[in-house]
Structure 1
Amino acid sequence: MDDFAPASEDVPISKEHGIQDWDDPETCILWPKARAAIAQIKATGRLPPGHTSNDHLNQLAEVGIEADVEAHWRAELVRVVDESAARGEDIVWVLVDGFVLYYDAVVASLLDVKLFVQVPYDVLKARREKRSTYALQNPDSVGEVWTDPPNYFDNIVYPGYLKAHAHLFANGDVEHGALLPDTGITVLRPGEGVPGMTKIVTEAGEVLVADVEVGDKVLVDEEA
């Protein structure tokens, strides 16, 4: 979803903290552009013409999974595709990732499978602080980078995360509340390292294979 972030000069300043707020779900995504792009992908199985991304410029630590589990799910997805092809149908897998992905009702309605990766506050904070510098995604901001100022996670990022997901949980309690039954979202709670990644791949694969239907599909995996 960072592909749909606004240009740096259009990011609002937090009235409370006096710094740019890149994480308020109301303003951190150009929602009309995101809706149109995802709708086109769902209809055609292709990215909109001229769509660009700078996300490859960001460095993320790779976490592997157990080899036998990786082999199993590769084979399972091939099986699903082959069985569909035998019926004269093509499956197009599209992964849409973003930590405010479910804030917008229109975007959420376009997604066939919804997964929410939920991890504790301290893990979220540690991960954010390991990757606190970002290449900006908007085409008007090519070459620019953003580095989190001190206390940015606690003052801006985490409040934005809670705001973006409060409507999904009982009493608006993202940390401890139960997921509301009408969201259509499956919550995944991985651990750390290879065992944690293996667990989440297995659970996500089970949901995907169980829910896949005839026709093009959009797979959604949100990393908090």
Structure 2
Amino acid sequence: MADKAVIVGISGPSSSGKTTLARLLQRIFNGAKSPSANLNTFIIHEDDFYFPDDKIPYTTTASGETIQDWDTAAAIDLPFLSQALQYVRKNGCLPPRLRSKEDQNDESDSGVPEETVQELRRMVQDRLSGSGSIAFLEGFLLFAPPQKDHVLRSVHDAIQLHVFLPAAYGLVKERREGRSGYVTVGSAPVQEGERAEPEENKEIDLEAEDDRPPQNFWVDPPGYVDDVVWPRYVRDHSWLLVGEDGQDVATGGDGDADLVRRAGDGTRVRTDIGVEVAPGAGSAGMEVVLRWAVDLVLQFYIDSRQ
């Protein structure tokens, strides 16, 4: 049976504009309705698949401090995410169990004029026909390297169009440290060694209502970007990032510190491995990125329906 929805994955480092781009694309494509076109669109936030607070793993920083690590795949309920994506492709809508907490977090100004949004909406409407669904999945850790046994393989393979937004280290640090915090799920963290381990290979009733615990609020501790966010990002994307020598950051890398050194500002990204990379190497404004993304998504959606 043909898929009822196209899933567009939008990934990149923290604070690279993923959520902003997803919201803009959702507005533009969802507004493209005419007698010949009826497109349903929605957003899936990877942050909505975090484990409850008491199941978030811990890490020890270079200074010897033990803190929770929200920037690792082990903090994400990957079976839940993978099964939800398969549900979306099959049914063309979000599963009832998925209730977003991410939309309760701060929403910043996109920087894109409303006139541009309306212009792009009209352009999409003129080119679309028929009905269907597009899901914009945004998250910091969505794509897998080529090896088949990678922990993110099932998530990567459920995404049909892979979009990556590079961002320089300095911009990530400035934006991330400027945020007030994040809505989370579950009870307050417990001491290391007392937390319950995440269930693996579990089947989730996606038709059930969301029964996850009440929400809390996480604020990054001092130094969290340099101790956790950036090293984790470089390590998990070392297969995609390119060093100043033109080689993959992972080539010859020995430990997170060496990978970070090789990555430099983190804006050089491979374009030959099935991932569409936004123009400007992280320096283009959101309007430039949005126009590029609209053309990319529109053409991919049209081709997928032929």
Match of 2:50 in 1: 5
Q: Percent identity?
A: 23
Which letter does structure 2 place at the counterpart of 1:130?
G
Greater helix content: 1
SS of 1:27 mapped into structure 2: helix
Matched, 1:184 2:225: no
Q: Output aligned runs, 1:75-224, within 5 Å.
A: 75-81=122-128, 83=129, 85=130, 90-103=131-144, 104-137=152-185, 140-169=212-241, 170-172=248-250, 175=266, 177-179=268-270, 181-189=272-280, 190-191=282-283, 196-212=285-301, 213-215=303-305
Match of 1:15 in 2: 60
Q: CA offset at residue 106 of structure 1? A: 1.8
Give the TM-score of the pair, scaled to structure 2: 0.62
Contact 1:115–1:188, Cα closer than 8 Å, also in 2: no
How far apart are the structure 2 equivalents of 1:21 and 1:141? 20
SS of 2:154 mapped into structure 1: helix
How far apart are the structure 2 equivalents of 1:91 and 1:21? 38
SS of 2:51 mapped into structure 1: coil
Greater strand content: 2
Q: CA RMSD in A?
A: 2.2
Task: Indicate how the Cα distance of structure 1 residues 58 and 201 shifts in structure 2: closer, same or farther if over 3 A, else same.
Answer: same
Contact 1:55–1:137, Cα closer than 8 Å, also in 2: no
SS of 1:92 mapped into structure 2: strand
| Uncovered stretches (5+) of structure 2, i.e. residues with no partner | 1-45, 145-151, 187-210, 242-247, 251-261
Q: CA offset at residue 67 of structure 1? A: 4.1
How far apart are the structure 2 equivalents of 1:9 and 1:37? 22
How far apart are the structure 1 equivalents of 2:118 and 2:171? 28
Higher RCO, 1 vs 2 (CA within 8 Å, ≥6 residues apart): 1
Which letter does structure 1 place at the counterpart of 2:275?
G
Q: CA offset at residue 130 of structure 1? A: 1.5
Match of 1:55 in 2: 102
SS of 1:71 mapped into structure 2: helix
Q: CA offset at residue 158 of structure 1? A: 0.9
How far apart are the structure 2 equivalents of 1:180 and 1:201? 18
Task: Indicate how the Cα distance of structure 1 residues 142 and 62 shifts in structure 2: closer, same or farther if over 3 A, else same.
Answer: farther
SS of 1:101 mapped into structure 2: coil
Task: Indicate how the Cα distance of structure 1 residues 47 and 147 shifts in structure 2: closer, same or farther if over 3 A, else same.
Answer: same
Corresponding residue pairs, total: 206
How far apart are the structure 1 equivalents of 2:180 and 2:226? 13
Which stretch of the first structure deviates more once superposed, 198-207 or 9-18? 9-18
SS of 2:59 mapped into structure 1: coil
SS of 1:14 mapped into structure 2: strand
* Higher radius of gyration, 1 or 2: 2
Matched, 1:71 2:118: yes
Match of 1:220 in 2: none
Cα deviation, 1:9-50, whole Å, max 9, x if unaligned, reads 0111113330011111x3121111110001110111111122
Matched, 1:37 2:128: no
How far apart are the structure 2 equivalents of 1:4 and 1:132? 20
Which letter does structure 2 place at the counterpart of 1:63?
S
| Uncovered stretches (5+) of structure 1, i.e. residues with no partner | 217-224
Q: CA offset at residue 68 of structure 1? A: 4.0
SS of 2:287 mapped into structure 1: helix
> Runs (4+) of structure 1 moved beyond 3 Å?
137-141, 187-192
